[in-house]
Amino acid sequence: MRFHAPMATLAQIAESAGVSEATVSRVLNDKPGVSDTARQSVLTALDVLGYERPARLRRRSAGLVGLVVPELENPIFPAFAQVIEDALARRRFTPVLCTQSPGGISEDEYVESLLDHGVAGIIFVSGRHADTTADHERYRGLLERGLPVVFVNGYVEEFDAPFFSTDDREAMVTAISYLAQLGHQKIGLATGPARFVPSQRKREGFIGGLMRTFGYSKAEARKWIEEGLFTVEGGETAALSLIDRGATAVVCASDVMALGAVRGARERGLDVPGDVSVVGFDDSSLMGFLDPPLTTVRQPVQSMGAAAVHALADAIGGQPVPSKEYVFKPELVLRSSTGPAPIRD
45-72, pLDDT tens digit by residue?
A: 887 787 777 766 655 566 899 999 998 8
Kindly state whether residues 160 and 267 are assigned to the same domain. no
What is the band of 16 on the pLDDT scale with cuts at 50, 70, 90? confident
Is residue 73 situated within a structural domain?
yes
What percentage of residues in the chain have a pLDDT greater than 70?
A: 94
Check pLDDT > 60 for residue 317.
yes
Domain count, the chain: 3
Residues 255 and 146 in one domain: no
Q: pLDDT of 20-46, one tens digit each?
A: 988 988 888 878 888 878 888 888 888
- 46 and 80 assigned to the same domain: no
24 shares its domain with 80: no
Decide if pLDDT at 164 tops 90.
yes
pTM across the whole model: 0.82
Please indicate, yes or no, whether residues 37 and 121 belong to a single structural domain of this protein. Answer: no
Which CATH number goes with the domain that contains 154? Answer: 3.40.50.2300
- Asked whether residue 2 is domain-assigned, the answer is no
pLDDT of 315 > 50? The answer is yes
Specify whether 315 is located in the same domain as 245.
no
- Provide the pLDDT for residue 59: 59
Which of the four pLDDT bands, split at 50, 70 and 90, describes residue 73? confident
Condensed to tens digits (0 to 9), the pLDDT of residues 187-244 reads 999 999 999 999 999 999 999 999 999 999 999 999 999 999 999 999 999 999 999 9
**Shared domain check, 205 and 245:** yes
Average pLDDT, integer, range 151-164: 95
Q: Is 182 exposed, middle or buried (0-12, 13-18, 19+ CB in 10 A)?
A: middle
Picking from 144, 90, 140, 98, the residue whose alpha carbon sits closest to that of residue 119 is: 98
Q: Are residues 31 and 177 in the same domain?
A: no
Q: What is the mean pLDDT of residues 114-143?
A: 94
Residue-range definition of the domain harbouring residue 43: 7-57
**What mean pLDDT value characterizes the chain?**
91
With a cut of 80, say whether residue 5 has pLDDT above it: no
pLDDT of 4: 47
Nearest to 81 by CA among 96, 102, 101: 96
Together in a domain, 154 and 180? no
Write down the pLDDT at residue 49: 80
Does residue 283 lie within any of the structural domains? yes
Q: Is residue 333 part of a domain?
A: no
Task: Judge whether 19 lies within some domain.
Answer: yes
Residues 320 and 296 in one domain: no
Whole-number percent of the chain with pLDDT over 90: 74
Distance, in Å, from the CA atom of 216 to the CA atom of 300, rounded to the nearest integer, reads 31
Same domain, 286 and 174: yes
- CATH classification at residue 38: 1.10.260.40
Residues 146 and 71 in one domain: yes
